[in-house]
């Protein structure tokens, strides 16, 4: 399914709402993108393999080394590849307990055994930490992590990074937000908003339960990854 089909499916859900003077396709596209990012963030259903290389005596890695680090939500597995050939699976790194604040005061160099991903220096700027500090340059760090989309959906033929079975969740989200926005115009749209919200939340819950790497509990609070409504 592409962006155009998502728009079509959402418009079908909206029905008569599309006839009001304030309606615009731009609003539908906006809410589709908000739902897209929100669903990826809540469910961690989209994953990607990331790769960067070590630098000797450097243990903090940023966007300079890992280009897509800002999109990473949660690391499922990280491996240190001593030998970069295909026959080498690398050594699995363990999460560092306590993150940056728990690192030893004295620098230890050698082969990395632990990692941590978080915001410790600048709010909103993620860093990836390796410990002990790598003593060798050019070793591969391979990371399997849940991820947000790289960009918003813009062109009609843009596709989603989540499996197709979850695409209707995005339309439910957009319909929920549109009905909520204009519920003052028609009391029945409050019910429509609640129905689509419930459909969206159910899809989120199902995706979380099917996610092999999900380590959250079953509690769910729907939130937005955008601050601006």
Mean pLDDT for the stretch of residues 110-125: 85
Is the pLDDT higher at 33 or at 90?
Answer: 33
Phi/psi of residue 181, each to 5°? -60, -35
What is the model's pLDDT at position 218?
36
pLDDT for 227 equals 37
For residue 103, pLDDT over 80 is answered with no
Provide the CB-side half-sphere exposure for 49 (13 A, CA).
4
Specify the pLDDT at position 85.
60
Q: Quote the Cα angle for 193-170-32, to 5°.
A: 85
* Bridge partner list, 109: 133
pLDDT digit string, tens, across residues 140-195: 999 999 999 999 999 999 999 999 999 999 999 999 999 999 999 999 999 999 99
Among 22-36, 68-82, 192-206, name the one with the lowest average pLDDT: 68-82
Q: What is the mean pLDDT of residues 67-95?
A: 84
- Neighbouring C-beta atoms of residue 162, cutoff 10 Å: 18
In a 10 Å sphere around its CB, with 0-12 CB exposed, 13-18 middle and 19+ buried, how is residue 140 labelled?
middle
Rounded to whole angstroms, how far apart are CA atoms 225 and 221?
12
Asked whether 166 and 39 are in contact (CB, 8 A), the reply is yes
Tell me what pLDDT residue 226 has. 38
Query: What's the mean pLDDT when you consider all of the chain?
Result: 88
98: pLDDT confidence band, cut at 50, 70 and 90? confident
pLDDT beyond 60 at 220: no
The pLDDT of residue 212 is 53
Given pLDDT bands bounded at 50, 70 and 90, which one contains residue 222?
very low
Mean pLDDT of 76-96: 81
- CA 225 – CA 37 distance, rounded (Å): 7
User: Which residue, among 136, 166, 173, 147, has the nearest Cα to 57 in the 3D structure?
Assistant: 136
pLDDT band at residue 210, thresholds of 50, 70 and 90? confident
Read off the DSSP letter of residue 127. E
**Contacts of residue 67, Cβ cutoff 8 Å, sequence gap at least 6:** 52
Per-residue pLDDT reduced to its tens digit, 6-32: 999 999 999 999 999 999 999 999 999
């Amino acid at each position: 399914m592409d962006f155009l089909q998502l728009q079509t499916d959402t418009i079908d859900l909206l029905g008569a709402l599309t006839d009001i003077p304030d309606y615009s396709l731009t609003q539908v596209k906006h809410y589709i993108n908000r739902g897209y990012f929100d669903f990826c963030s809540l469910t961690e259903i989209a994953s990607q393999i990331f790769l960067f290389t070590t630098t000797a005596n450097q243990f903090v890695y940023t966007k300079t080394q890992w280009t897509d680090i800002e999109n990473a939500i949660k690391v499922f597995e990280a491996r240190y590849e001593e030998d970069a050939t295909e026959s080498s699976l690398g050594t699995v790194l363990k999460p560092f307990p306590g993150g940056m604040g728990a690192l030893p005061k004295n620098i230890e160099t050698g082969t990395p055994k632990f990692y941590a991903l978080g915001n410790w220096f600048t709010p909103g700027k993620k860093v990836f930490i390796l410990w002990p500090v790598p003593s060798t340059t050019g070793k591969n760090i391979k990371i399997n992590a849940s991820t947000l989309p790289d960009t918003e959906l813009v062109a009609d033929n843009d596709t989603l990074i989540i499996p197709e079975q979850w695409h209707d969740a995005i339309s439910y989200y957009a319909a929920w937000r549109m009905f909520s926005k204009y519920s003052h115009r028609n009391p029945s749209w409050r019910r429509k908003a609640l129905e689509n919200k419930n459909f969206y939340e159910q899809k989120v819950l199902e995706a979380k339960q099917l996610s092999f790497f999900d380590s959250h509990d079953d509690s769910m609070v729907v939130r937005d990854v955008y601050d601006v409504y």
